[in-house]
Amino acid sequence: MRGNTLKREVHKQPHADIIKEICEKIKRDEILDAKNILKNKWEHKKLKNNGRQYTVNQKTQIFWRDGFIDRYSGEKLVYPPVLKILSMKMEKEFPYHKHWKMADTHIAWWELIPTIDHIEPIARGGLDNEENWVCTSQLRNSAKSNWTLEELGWKKYNKGDPKKWDGLIGWFMEYMENAHKEIKDDPYIKKWYKAAIKLEKYSSHNCYSK
């Protein structure tokens, strides 16, 4: 019982205090002791990077699965080609830069475009599969980087209901029916349009809310 109690106490020891303890050993040139403290209390574990593999079709399916909700904030997100249409129709007022240069891109692109993030970062050993994928904005994806939710003090929000908020994918599909050629031929819009068609094709019901 005592051994288990000590183990729990060590686990709860603040990381800064572990470093402080190590520094005291270093100060006395007790390098071996310092190494042992690090090994026993905060050992570095080299993890395998499992890579990133998902298609536009998979992205669309995950966005729909999560109800176009940012799972790290609970806020609504918008299907990517909708924003591209706005940038094409209002180039000066709603600018977009293909390399995401912030000075030349409307902040809405960062706040509203959905992306896929790995809840457990793959750089920290997380797997690249649907169970570890979550819908979030480009802004929060960039901010989260390779940190865990616990390290950032974030939480995971519940999935949304696409029947209540569909990320304007319904608007997009309706708009594309009579869109001008420049819109239909845009490579970025075209790939997302095909993904939306496939999403509807394999859905058990008409998935787009009006």
pTM: 0.77
**Phi and psi based region of residue 76 (left: phi greater than 0; alpha: psi -120 to 50; beta: remaining):** beta
d(Cα 189, Cα 175) in Å, to the nearest integer? 12
Q: Which pLDDT tens digits describe the chain residue by residue (210 residues)?
A: 444 443 444 457 888 888 888 888 888 889 899 889 888 887 776 655 555 668 999 999 999 999 999 999 999 999 999 999 999 999 999 999 888 888 899 999 999 999 999 999 988 889 888 999 999 999 999 999 999 999 999 999 999 999 999 999 999 999 999 999 999 999 999 999 999 999 986 565 456 655
Q: Which two tokens stand for residue 193?
A: 């349009």
In contact, 114 and 68? CB cutoff 8 Å: yes
**Phi and psi based region of residue 104 (left: phi greater than 0; alpha: psi -120 to 50; beta: remaining):** alpha
Using the CB atoms, write b or e for 1-16: b if 16+ within 10 Å: eeeeeeeeeeeeeeee
